[in-house]
Structure 1
Amino acid sequence: MLENYSGATRVHLIVGDPIAQVKSPFGVTQAFESHGRDAICVPAHVTPADLTDWWAGTKRARNIDGLIVTVPHKFACTAFCDTLSERAAFLGTVNTVRRDAQGHWHGDMFDGLGYVRAMEKNGCTLNNKRALLVGAGGAGSAIAHSLVLAGVSELAIHDPDDQRRQSLIDRLNSLKLGKVTHLEKFTLGSPDPTGFDVVVNATPIGMKESDPTPIDASKIHGDMFVGCVITAPAITPLIAAARAKGCKTVTGADMFAQVRELMVNFLLEA
């Protein structure tokens, strides 16, 4: 890989805070190479306070063609786009931005679509199922949207930010598809998955060994499908607990494989 790396190589950035945990730079660069493109993906560690100033300078580099966005910048980076996909505009969040031939920046959000594809690939049927989602941030919002579009009959959302959670619930209910509510059941301070067919953690809780389980694992049973967006560790305590009970699962790595394909195809359309 990178045999042709030179001043002519096109650059795509992945921006986040923190950034050391992301696996995207290698995988995306590898995908560019498999498509015959002389392009790389480079990580950028940028804090929220510096994001606007960083972007003002970064976008002036003529050899930068795209931007991949990770935590916590997925909402903020919508402001950097000249145009948005219908999906990104609805959610108010992006995870991929590309520059077109006219120099305009176009954004889209693939976390939800990629996650649902990964779930279905791992044996999850979503139509008419009851789902619990913990986390209404950038990725969580996108996953919630895709779960509703995939036909869940009910989606309960938990997020400690009441305003963010309710805004998402209201927007999803405006689609007049499955019923979307906020979660009211908790045990020992953790969201209670009792009564749900599908349970997904879309928060960073579980990245550290000292983290509590983001969902009450004692209430999980083998007929549930359990998912987590975290990529490091590869198997979070939530996923390990679910597998121990015989659940089918989807991990952050499973999600990334699907999201990467969508992002790369989008970036290469420019």
Structure 2
Amino acid sequence: MIKYLDGATRLHFIIGDPIAQVRSPEGISKSLQDKGINAICVPAHIASKDLDTFFKACRIMQNLDSIIVTIPHKIPSASYCDKLSPRSEFLGAVNVIKVTENGYEGDMLDGLGYVLALKEKGCTLEGKRALLCGLGGAGSAIAHALTTNGIGELAVFDLDQNRQSKMIDRLNSLGKCKVIAGTRDLEGFDIAINATPTGMKETDPLPFAVDNFSDGLWAGDVITKPVETAWIKYAKSRGSNVVVGLDMFNKVKDLLIEFLVTRAD
């Protein structure tokens, strides 16, 4: 429930194309106002061709505290930042931009949110082998977060072989763990995460080949609608612990609030 909305209200935009599907505005507005902060999160439908115009307009808005970024603007929006976090710089993408006295500060919290969701459910990363399918915006962020948060070995699979090869080289350059090319085969893995759109439709096939499904496998998905994809339902039927897209969404929201509240205070 909105407590504050007046001339002193601070603004937090969330931009995307489309934007009607986002769940963040209400939750972020409530979280900020529950902390006694007079602020509101407002969705803005911005086409890619208008992104430059949007950011120019934002620069003159004196009651703007942040811009939260969703598909398809996460990569191009990084170029409008004056400062990037190390993970954003590595990924070349942002999902939040904070307005500070020194300019626009960008960060990418999707991957860290997923890792925190895994850990909250009881999944231990240290010494484990993980398979990640899909290296788009969310997938790349999760790959980076797994690599930098203790995973023993990471295998990645993407239909775009060039993107897969480049990401493997870049992740290995961090010197954190061994990163290799994967397939859809689950044999030998402790964790398997789907970061592709496969599963959004009822007619979609499973993102992994399940012939070698092992007991104790942790199954993950980034899709938020449906909450449980066919992959997650299958994994649950085999006794797996699961982490769904909504788990990531909730953790990312918490991280967003933590990132923003220092400015709002």
**Normalised-by-shorter TM-score class:** over 0.9
For 1:71 and 1:216, the matched residues in 2 are separated by 28
For 1:121 and 1:51, the matched residues in 2 are separated by 36
- The Cα shift of 1:9 comes to 1.0
Letter paired with 2:236: R
- The Cα shift of 1:180 comes to 0.7
Partner of 2:179: 180
Partner of 1:199: 192
Cα contact 1:21–1:232 (8 A) shared by 2: no
For 2:203 and 2:59, the matched residues in 1 are separated by 39
Listed as ranges, the gaps of 5+ residues in structure 1 are 186-190
Cα contact 1:10–1:65 (8 A) shared by 2: yes
Task: Say which SS state the counterpart of residue 269 (structure 1) adopts.
Answer: helix
Listed as ranges, the gaps of 5+ residues in structure 2 are none
- The Cα shift of 1:165 comes to 2.2
Partner of 1:211: 204
2:224 corresponds, among 231, 242, 249, to: 231
Letter paired with 1:86: P
For 2:135 and 2:201, the matched residues in 1 are separated by 20
1:143-185 C-alpha deviation (Å, 9 max, x unpaired)? 11111122222111112223322222111101112111122x3
- The Cα shift of 1:218 comes to 4.9
For 1:222 and 1:58, the matched residues in 2 are separated by 51
**Which residues in structure 2 correspond to 1:15-94 (within 5 Å)?**
15-94=15-94
For 1:217 and 1:61, the matched residues in 2 are separated by 52
For 2:59 and 2:159, the matched residues in 1 are separated by 34
For 2:211 and 2:17, the matched residues in 1 are separated by 32
How has the CA–CA distance of structure 1 residues 18 and 221 changed in structure 2, closer, same or farther, with 3 Å as cutoff? farther
How has the CA–CA distance of structure 1 residues 15 and 213 changed in structure 2, closer, same or farther, with 3 Å as cutoff? farther
Partner of 2:116: 117
Q: Comparing 205-214 with 59-68, which one deviates more in the overlay?
A: 205-214
- The Cα shift of 1:261 comes to 1.1
For 1:139 and 1:132, the matched residues in 2 are separated by 15
Partner of 1:188: none
Letter paired with 2:4: N
1:23-43 C-alpha deviation (Å, 9 max, x unpaired)? 111111111012111111112
- The Cα shift of 1:14 comes to 1.2
Cα contact 1:69–1:95 (8 A) shared by 2: yes
For 1:211 and 1:165, the matched residues in 2 are separated by 22
**Which residues in structure 2 correspond to 1:5-16 (within 5 Å)?**
5-16=5-16
- The Cα shift of 1:129 comes to 0.8
- The Cα shift of 1:255 comes to 1.0
Letter paired with 1:74: K
**Alpha-carbon RMSD:** 1.6
Normalised by the length of structure 2, the TM-score is 0.93
For 1:46 and 1:193, the matched residues in 2 are separated by 39
Task: Say which SS state the counterpart of residue 31 (structure 2) adopts.
Answer: helix
How has the CA–CA distance of structure 1 residues 218 and 48 changed in structure 2, closer, same or farther, with 3 Å as cutoff? farther
